Amino acid sequence: MTYIEDIGKHVGEEVTLRGWLHNKRSSGKLRFLIVRDGTGYIQAVVFKKGVSEETFEAATELTHESSFTVTGTIRADERAPSGYEMDVISLEPLQVVSKEEEFPITPKEHGIEFLMDRRHLWVRSRRQRAILKIRHEIVKAVRDFLDDDGFTLCDTPILTPAACEGTTTLFEVGYFEENAFLTQSGQLYNEATAAALGKVYCFGPTFRAEKSKTRRHLTEFWMVEPEVAYATVEDMMELSERFISFIVQRVLEKRQEELETLERDTAQLEKITPPFPRISYDEAIEILQKKGSEIQWGSDFGGGDETLLSKEFDKPLMVHRYPSAIKAFYMEPDPERSEVALCLDVLAPEGYGEVIGGGQRTANHDLLLSRLDEHGLSREVFNWYLDLRKFGSVPHSGFGMGIERAVAWICKLDHVRETIPFPRMLYRLTP
């Protein structure tokens, strides 16, 4: 089996490729077919005199996105975008797209809703392929980094009995005689496995019934969440900067071609190396007020505030010690200043905003209990979680990074909807 990505190893050889017609140009006795097979693109040249009548006819009739196999000799060609071309010997159509119902996505501009309705076909475009390749590279970099840093993958459940990140964004599902919720985060379970294995992570789909229609929110997204026993919020800042830098540098190393397809300015990405700037929430509020934001101490940043802040720096910005009142129930208060929490958010540069959220978890049993009560969360369903504070409680910390937010930033996309093969959003459940 030969794939286009390996075509350079077959110069002078006769090979068979199996793919789809990306584009076609005709000129007299020549047919120029751009073949794509998922791994790349190559021009296949059909010369009337060099092939059977059937092959020439088939090449002439081939329509956009028709599937076929094509056999020919590979030739190096400096002018070709891929560096190679195929001189066709024979061509076998598999399924020819009818001329009555052509492939709906053409090089002309389509509206976003038209494309989203045809996401199952849109993913075949060069640009979408580049994004999905980069997403894959990011996911692989995430795993490589954590695996090589001594973390153990411990999968966490998707069906859960309770909220982790606030009760307003829960998806409820029937669970036999009870109700269950789709997980908002694997963190609480990570805290249990971290006490067993030291350094753990979970990586899977998470769900938020977000009623917001922004360019940063999906209702189903993938989150990677490391959790470390005996670690502090400062340790998490150090881990976040190494983690993000590793991922960005890996994408730069392995996905130049895809970044080029997206016309990504890679100079911005080259700057992503430790250390990252660190500011407290207090300092962030000062910066925002100086920039003209109306924000007051005590409020959470809006999307606009995050954009303002992240435009101030060329590297991801780490903001720590937010007011406890605007953060989740499990945040450890700062012992020096109990109204702020030992938490951090990492805001991606170029206006992208929050990609990571995390911090240190409440280690004390009684404090955690009172936080549960304050948040109106049932002691009963959190009993197991409270156990972790009864049996060898230690300071511990972790964070979560949303993969789609990271992909949107690294690819410099306008919206997270293009970062996942089939996005789920407030008004979109299909295809």
Residues 199-218 that bind ligand 4AD (CB under 6 A): 208, 210, 217-218
Contact assessment for residue 252 and residue 411, using Cβ atoms and an 8 Å cutoff: no
Residue 301 binds which entry of Mg ion, ligand 4AD, none, CB below 5-8 Å type-dependent: none
In the complex, the smallest distance separating the C-beta of residue 41 from ligand 4AD, rounded to whole angstroms, is 31
Residue 332 binds which entry of ligand 4AD, Mg ion, none, CB below 5-8 Å type-dependent: none
186 Cβ contact list (under 8 Å, min separation 6): 155, 156, 157, 202, 204, 206, 223, 225
> Of the listed pieces 134-142, 173-181, 302-310, 392-400, which binds ligand 4AD according to CB under 6 A?
392-400
Contact assessment for residue 329 and residue 371, using Cβ atoms and an 8 Å cutoff: yes
Specify the residue, 20 or 222, whose C-beta has the smaller distance to ligand 4AD.
222
Tokens of 407: 């992909």
Specify the residue, 50 or 205, whose C-beta has the smaller distance to ligand 4AD.
205
The correct pick among 43, 66, 183, 185 for binding ligand 4AD (CB under 6 A) is: 185
Calpha distance 116→129 (Å, rounded) = 15
In the complex, the smallest distance separating the C-beta of residue 207 from ligand 4AD, rounded to whole angstroms, is 9
Asked if 349 touches ligand 4AD (CB under 6 A), the answer is no
Specify the residue, 165 or 305, whose C-beta has the smaller distance to ligand 4AD.
165
The correct pick among 145, 181, 382, 399 for binding ligand 4AD (CB under 6 A) is: 399
Asked if 358 touches ligand 4AD (CB under 6 A), the answer is yes
- Residue 60, CB-side half-sphere exposure with 13 Å CA sphere: 13
Tokens of 279: 């500011």
Task: Give the start-end residues of each E strand in 255-352.
Answer: 278-280, 317-320, 333-334, 337-341, 343-348
Calpha distance 43→51 (Å, rounded) = 16
Contact assessment for residue 395 and residue 360, using Cβ atoms and an 8 Å cutoff: yes
In the complex, the smallest distance separating the C-beta of residue 280 from ligand 4AD, rounded to whole angstroms, is 18
Task: Give the start-end residues of each E strand in 361-418.
Answer: 396-402
Residue 316 binds which entry of ligand 4AD, Mg ion, none, CB below 5-8 Å type-dependent: none
The correct pick among 405, 408, 410, 418 for binding ligand 4AD (CB under 6 A) is: 405
In the complex, the smallest distance separating the C-beta of residue 85 from ligand 4AD, rounded to whole angstroms, is 42
Specify the residue, 31 or 417, whose C-beta has the smaller distance to ligand 4AD.
417
Burial class (CB in 10 A: 0-12, 13-18, 19+), 103: middle
Specify the residue, 223 or 410, whose C-beta has the smaller distance to ligand 4AD.
223
In the complex, the smallest distance separating the C-beta of residue 154 from ligand 4AD, rounded to whole angstroms, is 13
Residue written as token pair 């002691």? 379
Helix, strand, coil in percent for the chain, rounding step 5 = 35, 30, 35
Asked if 228 touches ligand 4AD (CB under 6 A), the answer is no
> Of the listed pieces 9-17, 104-112, 238-246, 396-404, which binds ligand 4AD according to CB under 6 A?
396-404
Residue written as token pair 């340790």? 235
Asked if 312 touches ligand 4AD (CB under 6 A), the answer is no
Q: How many CB atoms lie within 10 A of CB 101?
A: 8
Contact assessment for residue 210 and residue 426, using Cβ atoms and an 8 Å cutoff: yes
> Of the listed pieces 3-11, 48-56, 92-100, 394-402, which binds ligand 4AD according to CB under 6 A?
394-402
In the complex, the smallest distance separating the C-beta of residue 327 from Mg ion, rounded to whole angstroms, is 8
Of 331, 146, 330, nearest in space to 226 by CA: 146
Calpha distance 330→92 (Å, rounded) = 62
| List of residues contacting Mg ion (CB under 5 A) | 357
Residues 118-177 that bind ligand 4AD (CB under 6 A): 164-165
Instruction: Give the three-state DSSP class for 152.
Output: strand
* Residues contributing to the site for ligand 4AD (CB under 6 A): 164-165, 185, 187, 208, 210, 217-218, 221, 223, 225, 354-358, 398-402, 404-405, 416
